[in-house]
Amino acid sequence: MRQYLLYGILIYLAAINLVAFFLYGIDKWKSRHDKWRVTEAKLIGIALLGGSVGAFLGMKVWHHKTQHSKFRFGLPLILFLHLALAVAAVYFYHYFFAR
């Protein structure tokens, strides 16, 4: 039963990070073609919902929002917090459940 929960979490994280990555690319394309843009709140929000890796990579690959300090400093902070949460979750799982 626990492995299904783990698979579900991994599928969710893969999907949300792909969406975040391509959302940054779409917003970059829209900015160059003078189209309706994705809001900054949505771009940061998707990172907060678990897409921090995809958002950070999207920012770097598409060279998008790299001059905005809330993205330049905020996304790495969100990524660090997500990684710390993942390490803590693995630690607590092994400490409490894997005995």
Residues 59/27, Cβ–Cβ less than 8 Å = no
Report residue 69 CA to chain centroid gap.
17
* pLDDT value at residue 3: 82
- For 74-86, the pLDDT digits (tens) are 999 999 999 999 9
With 0.75 as the threshold, say if the pTM is over it: yes
- For 12-57, the pLDDT digits (tens) are 999 999 999 999 999 999 999 999 999 999 999 999 999 999 999 9
Alpha-carbon distance values, 56 to 2, 8, 76 (Å): 30, 23, 7
Report the half-sphere exposure of 16 (CA within 13 A, side-chain side): 18
Q: At what angle do helices 52-61 and 74-96 cross, to 10 degrees?
A: 150
